[in-house]
Structure 1
Amino acid sequence: MEKIWHLIYSRTFIILLLLAVTVLAIFFGVTYAALLMPAVLLALQIFSIIVAISIVNRPMNASFKLTWIIFIIGVPIFGALFYFILQSNIETRRYRKNFQKQAEKLRQYGHTSSKLLSVLEKEDKDQLKLAHYMSQHVGYALHGNSDATYFPSGEAKFEALVEELRKAEKYIFMEYYIVDFGYMWDSILEILKEKAGQGVEVRFMYDGSNSLMLLPYNYYKSLREFGIKAKVFSQIIPALSTVQNNRDHRKIAVIDGRVAFTGGVNLADEYINQKERFGHWKDAAIMVKGEAVANFTLMFLQMWNFNEKTENDDLKYLKEHLESEKEIVDKDSFFLAYGENPFDKDEVAKRVYLDMIQSATDYIYIMTPYLVLDDEMIDNLTYAAKRGVQVKLLLPHIYDKQSAYLAARVDFETYLESGIEIYEYTPGFVHSKVVLVDDKKATVGTVNMDFRSFYLNFECGLYVYNHKQVLWDILVDFETSFAVSEQITLEDFRNNYPWHKRLAGSLIAMFAPLF
Structure 2
Amino acid sequence: MEKGRLGFRGRGDHVKRFLQLLFSRLTFVAFFMALQIGAIVAMLTYFRSRYADFYTLFTIIGAIAVIYILNQEENPAYKIAWIIPILVLPIFGIPLYFLFGKSRLPKSLRMRMSHIQSKYDVAYENVDSCLEALKEIDPAAARQAEYLESAALAPIFQHSETEYFPLGDDMFPRMLAELRKAERFIFLEYFIIAPGEMWDTILAILEEKAAAGVDVRVIYDDIGSILTLPKNYYRQLEAKGIQSHAFHRFQPALNGNFNNRDHRKICVVDGNVAFTGGINLADEYINVKERFGHWLDCGVMVRGDAAYSFTVMFLSMWDYICRTDDDFSRYLPDAGAIADAKDDGFVQPYSDTPTDDETVGEIAYLNMINRAEHSIYICTPYFVIDNEIMTALTTAAKCGVDVRIITPGIPDKWYVYAVTRSYYESLVNAGVRIYEYTPGFIHSKTCVCDNKVAICGTINFDYRSMYLHHECAAWMYKSKAVHQMYDHFFEILEKCTEVTPEMCARRGWPLRFLQSLLRVFAPMM
Give the TM-score normalised by structure 2: 0.91
Question: Is 1:494 equivalent to 2:508 in the alignment?
Answer: no
1:239-250 matched pairs, under 5 angstroms: 239-250=253-264
Aligned residue for 2:90, secondary structure, equals coil
Separation of aligned partners in 1, 2:483 and 2:99: 50
Question: Is 1:511 equivalent to 2:512 in the alignment?
Answer: no
Among 327, 335, 358, the residue aligned to 1:314: 327
Separation of aligned partners in 2, 1:88 and 1:284: 32
CA separation of 1:473 and 1:205: change in aligned 2, threshold 3 A: same
Aligned residue for 2:142, secondary structure, equals helix
Match of 1:313, as an amino acid? D
CA separation of 1:85 and 1:165: change in aligned 2, threshold 3 A: closer
Separation of aligned partners in 2, 1:100 and 1:370: 29
Q: CA RMSD in A?
A: 2.6
2:277 counterpart residue number: 263
Aligned residue for 1:179, secondary structure, equals coil
Question: Is 1:480 equivalent to 2:494 in the alignment?
Answer: no
1:19 counterpart residue number: 33
CA separation of 1:483 and 1:136: change in aligned 2, threshold 3 A: same
Match of 1:441, as an amino acid? V
Deviation at 1:247, TM superposition (A): 1.3
5+ long unaligned stretches in structure 1: none
1:29-428 matched pairs, under 5 angstroms: 29-30=43-44, 32-33=46-47, 35-36=49-50, 41-86=55-100, 92-110=106-124, 116-309=130-323, 311-317=324-330, 320-321=332-333, 333-428=345-440
Using the TM superposition, name which of 230-239 and 363-372 deviates more: 230-239
5+ long unaligned stretches in structure 2: 1-13
Say whether the 8 Å CA contact 2:277–2:444 is kept in structure 1: yes
Deviation at 1:40, TM superposition (A): 5.1
Using the TM superposition, name which of 195-204 and 298-307 deviates more: 298-307
Match of 1:50, as an amino acid? I
Separation of aligned partners in 1, 2:150 and 2:392: 25
Separation of aligned partners in 2, 1:300 and 1:317: 14
Among 464, 470, 474, the residue aligned to 1:462: 474
After TM superposition, where is structure 1 displaced by more than 6 Å over at least 4 residues in a row? 87-91, 111-115, 322-327, 329-332
Aligned residue for 1:449, secondary structure, equals coil
Match of 2:516, as an amino acid? S
Give the TM-score normalised by structure 1: 0.93
Deviation at 1:342, TM superposition (A): 1.3
CA separation of 1:196 and 1:8: change in aligned 2, threshold 3 A: closer
Aligned length: 510
Match of 1:312, as an amino acid? D
Using the TM superposition, name which of 414-423 and 401-410 deviates more: 401-410
2:456 counterpart residue number: 444
Using the TM superposition, name which of 414-423 and 38-47 deviates more: 38-47
Separation of aligned partners in 2, 1:121 and 1:12: 50
Using the TM superposition, name which of 179-188 and 210-219 deviates more: 210-219
CA separation of 1:27 and 1:314: change in aligned 2, threshold 3 A: farther
Aligned residue for 1:126, secondary structure, equals helix
Separation of aligned partners in 2, 1:428 and 1:88: 34
Separation of aligned partners in 2, 1:164 and 1:353: 30
Deviation at 1:221, TM superposition (A): 0.7
Aligned residue for 1:181, secondary structure, equals coil
Say whether the 8 Å CA contact 1:441–1:463 is kept in structure 2: yes
Say whether the 8 Å CA contact 2:156–2:347 is kept in structure 1: yes
Separation of aligned partners in 2, 1:7 and 1:163: 35
Say whether the 8 Å CA contact 1:112–1:135 is kept in structure 2: no
Say whether the 8 Å CA contact 1:48–1:81 is kept in structure 2: no
Aligned-pair identity in percent equals 38
